[in-house]
Amino acid sequence: MSNQESATRRKQGPLQGVNVIDLTAMVMGPYATQIMADMGAEVIKVEPPSGDGTRYISVGPAPDMGGIFANVNRGKTGVVLDLTQKADRAKLLELIADADVFIHSMRAKAIARLGLDYASVSAVNPAIVYTNCYGYGRKGRYRDQAAYDDTIQAECGLTSVQELLNGEPGFVGSIMADKIAGMTALYATVMALYHRERTGEGQEVEVPMFETMAAFMLVEHANGTLFDPPLGKAHYPRAVGRNRRPYRTKDGYVAALIYNDKHWRLFTEAVKPEWVTDDMATLAQRAKQIDRIYGLLAITS
């Protein structure tokens, strides 16, 4: 796609006319604003003279144009400002005055030292949607600590879930915490824009990576511990079953989840009629012995 075609597509997106000042770095914030740009927003990416760190951590056509940087910053306009200098900070505030969204990924103390906290920015633009992309929530004990995808994967319990699967703690092969938190920052910002559309009110949004990922993991892995008293362990058995995996066949692997009762009946009638037994007939029965079910499927493959 040519640059002109890309620009035309952005103008037609649902965020057409939304102006975003993007003071984020690495992946979480830039991923959120990349999607905004894809959806038609005009995003101004503000970098320090040294550049965003993702410029240098993967291969690319130039020493300062790594593939990760190019991917999560596509469709944006780049501006270099040294915000420790009063003149450059004044230029940023001029951009903010006409913006709909200001989004940053600095720690609370750091952004306050620059005079760019919510109180200062909303004084310039009261209708602004101001989004904080933090590592940890401001009310928590780690609020002033740096956060990275690996440390957040460990702290939110994801590496422990991998241990249940593989026998030892491990990371997943994707920077999942960065991207999930980025998508959360995206929808939280868009919801704030929707609120402003209805009321005219700007507001501050806070998206901490740790709390976001903890909530993400607890959707299924809180499981029995969700209740008082607890009714089971803090994991979803189906997701951490050792036999849950793609199954080897003569010409490759098959990913299968024979879930509801209809699918189970059709599968067993076609492949293993002897499995049509009273103790495996319903979803509730199979859920209580899910690792056995996966083990049978593994033997069959």
Would you name the residues annotated as active-site residues?
178
45 within 8 A of 101, measured Cβ to Cβ: no
Which is nearest to 150 in space by CA: 142, 158, 140? 158
Long-range CB contact pairs, 65-73, < 8 A, 24+: 68/27, 71/34, 72/27, 72/30, 72/31, 72/34, 73/30, 73/34, 73/45
What span, in angstroms and rounded, lies between the C-alpha atoms of 128 and 141?
28
Residues belonging to the chain: 301
d(C-alpha 44, C-alpha 98), whole Å: 12
Cβ–Cβ under 8 Å, residues 20 and 103 = yes
Looking only at Cα atoms, what is the longest distance across the chain? 78
Q: Which two tokens stand for residue 124?
A: 């310039």
Exposure string of 170-179, with b = 16+ CB inside 10 Å and e = fewer, is beeeebbbbb
